[in-house]
Amino acid sequence: MVLYGAYRDSSKTKVAYQPLQSLENNEPVENPLARKLGPITIDSPAVLAPLAGWTDTAMRRISRKYGAGLVFSEMLSGEGARRKNEKTRKMAAFDSAERPYFIQYFATNPEQAADAAKLLRDVNPDGLDLNFGCPVKKIILNQGGAALLKDVSLLARIVEAAVKAVDIPVSVKMRSGWDHRSLNAVEVARAIEGAGAAWVTVHARTRSEFFQGRAHWEWIGEVKSAVNIPVIGNGDVRNAEDVKRLLDMTGCDAVMIGRGAMGYPFIFREIDYLLRHGEACTAPTPYERLEAAEQHLLWMVDYFPDPHRATLEFRKHLLTYVKGLHGCAKFKSRAMQLMNPEEVIAEMRVFFGSLPNIPIERPHDALESAPVWC
């Protein structure tokens, strides 16, 4: 087994990535990547998407550590919040290192939206985000998520109720319409703006598309030209070059990344580097991947008091950290047997330690089979 200490020495080969340094006299450094999203300022235009079952506090922290400008909770139930459901409260909890942090929730009527907003406000996030994009049948049958794209007036009243209920910004995440026959992203975004939302995130797909096909980035540009609030573009952003292309093509204010960040928080530093320097930075070495995966696991253990539960929750993340690397298929079957954090760490050290410690690009197809939400 490769020892951690010995392995650490080989990190000398990694190419230094320089995050923003503060000046000796403590004057604030002007950050060319900072963006204003309504009342909040984010230090990178690349933000982590809400991902049910994934973006718990550990994934949000690791994403922030590597440069995500903003993070969101998994989608919570407005009704759950309103009923002071213990699970909802626990899912909303966060570590201050995650800030800026927005809690995402869905609501099906204005009263529920306002009551939930007040209760979620007590958790002390930087803002709230309303979901009008969820395509899942259970939510749609409940008239939530993307179902509200079919009732723009109700959608606007829900947003307005949440905005009026709290003294923190309320943003919205939406799809571009129910289906291709009813593309109404511009109409919905204008209604959202009129209802007082701080910004709107556009996932450039319809509900009917779920996650199929390519996202239609031109729909993000259409919304950006139609409203005055900031617009975050989302859908199929897989690497730093995609971020640049989406920003250039649509003029959107920021870019949201979901599947591209699973097991690869490095995407955020790659974006930062490309936008600052106009060229790509070096891919992470196996040692850097190990370092990130171990940190992710330790934050998972912080969150779940039961180490066995933390291990089970971490397994799916672990598979994404090793995806596409030489020998990952064999590792995968061993990983699924791991029962406690110590075993996970030992196996990870063996696996990553067996690889040459040189930068390894993420294979282009690594995202093709990323888990989808439908």
Ligand X SMILES: Cc1cc2nc3c(=O)[nH]c(=O)nc-3n(C[C@H](O)[C@H](O)[C@H](O)COP(=O)(O)O)c2cc1C
Cβ 199 vs Cβ 38: under 8 Å:
yes
Q: According to CB under 6 A, which one of 37, 46, 49, 191 is a site residue for ligand X?
A: 49
Residues 6+ apart with CB under 8 A from 300: 56, 58, 310, 313, 314, 317
CA dihedral 208, 244, 63, 227 (to 10 degrees): -60
Q: According to CB under 6 A, which one of 144, 260, 265, 286 is a site residue for ligand X?
A: 260
Q: According to CB under 6 A, which one of 77, 131, 285, 311 is a site residue for ligand X?
A: 131
With respect to ligand X, which residue has the nearer C-beta, 49 or 163? 49
- Catalytic-residue membership of 281: no
Does 50 sit near ligand X (CB under 6 A)?
yes
With respect to ligand X, which residue has the nearer C-beta, 47 or 360? 47
Q: How far is the CB of 27 from ligand X (least distance, A)?
A: 36
Of residues 216 through 235, those in contact with ligand X by CB under 6 A are: 234-235
Q: How far is the CB of 272 from ligand X (least distance, A)?
A: 17
Q: According to CB under 6 A, which one of 35, 203, 224, 296 is a site residue for ligand X?
A: 203
Cβ 108 vs Cβ 150: under 8 Å:
no
Q: According to CB under 6 A, which one of 221, 258, 284, 341 is a site residue for ligand X?
A: 258
With respect to ligand X, which residue has the nearer C-beta, 74 or 222? 74
What number of helices (H) and strands (E) belong to the chain?
15, 11
Short-list 169, 174, 162, 158, CA closest to 232: 174
Q: What are phi and psi of 117, to 5 degrees?
A: -60, -45
> Residue 304, Cβ neighbours under 10 Å: how many?
18
Residues engaged in binding ligand X (CB under 6 A): 49-54, 74-75, 104, 131, 133-134, 173, 203, 234-237, 257-260, 371-373
Q: Which residues are catalytic?
A: 134
